[in-house]
Structure 1
Amino acid sequence: MTLDSMRAPMPFSASGPSVATRWERWKRGLESYLLALNVNQSNRKRAILLHVGGEELQDIVDGLKDPGDNYEKTIDALNKHFSPTKNIIFECHMFQQIEQNKEESIDAFASRLRQAAKSCEFGELIDRMIAVQIVNRCQSAALRKRFLREESLTLDSILQIGRAHEAGELRSKQYVNTGCPQENDTSVNVVKTKSFVKKQQRKFFSSKMEQKRQFKCGRCGNNDHSSNHCTRARDKECHYCHKIGHFENVCLSKRREKKEISNVSEAQISNIFNVNTDELPTITIQLKDEKIPVLIDSGAAVNLMGVKLWKRFEANTKLLKTEKKIFSFGA
């Protein structure tokens, strides 16, 4: 494997705080880089160290009293150079400021704390200090209360409780968002009550009704297609307006007339009653050249004439428009 095929570590910068910690981290990256390249010669490893480290690290090596002529001696000299700048009190202070990120798992938080604890020289107390920091700086207040209820806590028990809490929070979110756990979650069994089933059924039928309302045909009135795809009423005649292309139940002319009737006052409405003309007094009158039987003083608000009779006088008689609405008895 060549140098060009591997991504080298970024040049090292000795500026800023925590130089010793950053030097140890950068040195680990360099050693992994050399191992991946399978570089074993000491002088070649030293050349790569100076090349990858950048100009600032090269100036530091040149300024050392005894920089060494191979990789091991140069690394030892750099370790001694950066170690005096290490402030244990400051490193411990920075360790105590570390908080769990919002979406960070309990294991990732513990791993980040362990990495930072290496520069604090906690020794055998490292697990206890990590455990204390997790309790103090975890994101969940409910999880912190759970920790404090335990009589004896270790880092392992804290991680175990934290994992169980995170799994429960995840399942709770899935239940709230979907009404039940997701299909790929086989670790939870949900008992569906009658009220839960009825609620799901109402949601299902309401969605179906909404779909039907969206696709109601304006030609035949059915809900399984739109007006553009209707073949049932495309060539049919409406029994109300006698136009082609729709049925009477969706006739717009009929709807408009019903709306107009609803706005008519009571004074403009008259009812027609069915009467038996054989038992009522009638006389015969002559209208133009026609003799017509009529009822004497019927008491009706209006008088009607049949269509056939009207057509006899239509040529010489003008028909006037009226706002009065006529209804048969019982209509």
Structure 2
Amino acid sequence: MATSMPTLANFDVHSDPSSLFSRWQKWIRRFEGAMTGFGITDDGRKKALLLHYGGEDLDDVFQTIKLTDNTYTKAKEVLETYFQPKQNTLYETIIFRREHQLQGESIDQYCTRLRKLAERCNFTDAEREIKTQIIEDCLSSQLRRKALEKDRGLEEIIELARSISLSETRTKEVEHVGRAEANHLRTAAGKQKQSRSWVKAKLKPTPDHKQQCYHCGGSYPHTKKCPAKGMTCNACGKPNHFAKVCKSAEKSTKDQKKRVKSGGKANALTSVEDAEETSDSDYVFQLSSSDTDQPRATVCVNNTPVQALIDSGATVNVMSRKTYNLTARNLTGIDTR
């Protein structure tokens, strides 16, 4: 029963001489992996397949090498020697010493790069050299301090670096959430403060928008003393305000209006006309005919019975022309207004 052979690209002998040896090492690993996968263990078959899959250029190189031992192991050895460049150990060591951890590079990635460079340096103790390079040129100062506290192995240094990296990542996440919450609170507080400032500015009187004085009714603030200070209200008799801004008189008038109903025949008090406040002024009321449920009393005026509204709040007694004509017979010297 025929079996299909593995597919493997030929080895490129002539491209990029600087990476020739490293490319050969990768290719030979893939080749041996394929042989193992297909169960090919015969030494002669492996050598034949090596030259077949290596390609024409690899076969030409092999033919220039004289072999005393015609086996796969020997063929691999002489080809590896051919592709391996003459190394300058001092130069490779300098390159190794210049390698430092890059931004965003994990400790494992950094260690892998150092291992590859150390292969060309012929170090007696490569693990110790790699550990020293990590301690000297890693990005984490915390790792450096911990590593210098006591002598640790390379694997212990790598585990410590992983732990520190994880801790720093979690700390940044927590701090980010904390800053986000703090910024939210500061923003809310700023908006609240701005709102209070806006309300305060809105309520505060400006020079162009003066308030009304509660005592005299004029513009406030006064440039001089308030005119109502020391004066007595003609409406309620209380000091330090004029009747036109008297709250007591305003309340009394509103109460009277609430008690008035239209459509009656009796004379009723309905409103107060605006009048300039003077020291000898009387309150002038407007009378109209309307029904009312207000308490009334029958009084005798010049021997004539008259229906009168009790406690109208007026400072003078007022009657209609019709009532006057009924009661003023044979009266002389009466002041009418």
TM-score normalized with structure 1 length = 0.48
TM-score normalized with structure 2 length = 0.48
Q: Determine which structure has greater relative contact order: mean sequence separation of CA pairs < 8 Å that are 6+ residues apart, divided by chain length.
A: 1
